[in-house]
Copies of this chain bind each other. A is one copy, B any other.
Amino acid sequence: MTTASYTIGWLARAGGVGVETIRYYQRRGLIETPSRQGPAGSGGVRRYDEKDVRRLRFIRSAQAAGFTLEQIGELIELDAGKDRARARELAKERIAALDEKIADLDRARSVLKKLARDCASQAGNPCPILAAFEGPGSRPR
């Protein structure tokens, strides 16, 4: 039984975020707020466990996948639920968005690669930043 328990500070470090960020996620309802543990009468401190660490890591990964915190909240509810169709829908939507985004970034990357090359030569050809991006017009956000 390794039922180690963490303080909020340890949880934060385990997830690579700040304490304030944990509290923020709690306010957003993404992480539960355990009850205070301590001798009766004194307030005590809230204690977290592995489950919370996993939850936190999930949040960070899902963010990296481009989900908003609101969507992440929905995913968390879905995880414990039965609505597979909705889960699938969210996943597919995100995949489509990722495909677009990845294509955009790939395009941007090659533009930059060429730009860096052109700007390498001490003199000679110019290094025209604005012109470099002409043509492949992708929209941001």
Chain A positions within 8 Å of B, measured between CB atoms, are 16, 54-55, 57-58, 60-66, 75-76, 78-79, 84-85, 87-88, 91-92, 94-95, 98-99, 101-102, 104-106, 108-109, 111-113, 115-116, 119-120, 127-130, 133-134, 136-141
In the complex, A52→B106 CA distance in Å? 26
CB neighbours (8 Å) of A139 from chain B are 16, 60, 64
* Number of copies of this protein chain within its complex: 2
Main secondary structure of the interface of A (DSSP, over half): helix
Q: Would A101 and B112 be within 8 Å (CB), given that A61-B136, A88-B120, A133-B57 are in contact?
A: no
**Complex-state Cα separation, A127 to B101, whole angstroms:** 25
How far, in whole Å, are A82 and B87 apart by their CA atoms in the complex?
52
- Interchain CA distance A16-B136 in the complex, whole Å: 14
A57 to B140, CA, bound (A): 11
Given known pairs A57-B134, A129-B75, A139-B60, the reply for A98 and B88 (CB within 8 Å) is no
